[in-house]
Amino acid sequence: MRIKTCTKCGKEKTINNFTESKSTKDRLRNWCKGCFSLYDKERYETAPRPYNKGKALVRYWPGSTSEQAFDNYSNLLELQGGLCAICGKAESAKDKFNKIKTLNVDHNHITGEVRGLLCEKCNKGLGFFDDDIVKLNVVIAYLKR
């Protein structure tokens, strides 16, 4: 059984307590899973919200800063009353820190135009049908039977 010492907590642990890393000699991170998880959670909770969300949103509003993209998202969220544009419900899916996720930005994959904000279920549903109106009409006909 191989043992490695975590450089964060200083404890010796078996290698199954470390995740893989391409940048270290032994191919394992220097911090154990527990220490890295605490660090990740702290970093996530202390970063300013516009930075956390805005950085990922820039791709939907090209040419905007993180703050501008976050403002665009916030304005759209307010217009929709904080609810999914399809089912009209609030998001219920949770992230790895057990916090409610934010609504997904739905966009036209060809033009890039933002259509609205969707909950995870509705967003995945559209994705499963490739945003194809013909396929969705077949589903509607099927449900009406």
CATH number of the domain at 102, please: 3.40.1800.10
- The domain tally of the chain equals 3
For the chain, helix (H) and strand (E) counts, in that order, are 5, 4
Neighbours of 142 (CB within 10 A): 8
Q: What residues make up the domain containing 75?
A: 48-79
Domain edge (last residue) among 63, 79, 95? 79
Mean pLDDT over each residue of the chain, to the nearest integer: 88
d(CA 97, CA 107): 27
- The mean-pLDDT minimum among 8-12, 31-35, 50-54, 122-126 falls in 50-54
| Spatial CB neighbours of 39, under 8 Å, sequence gap ≥ 6 | 8, 31
Mean pLDDT, range 21-41, rounded to an integer: 90
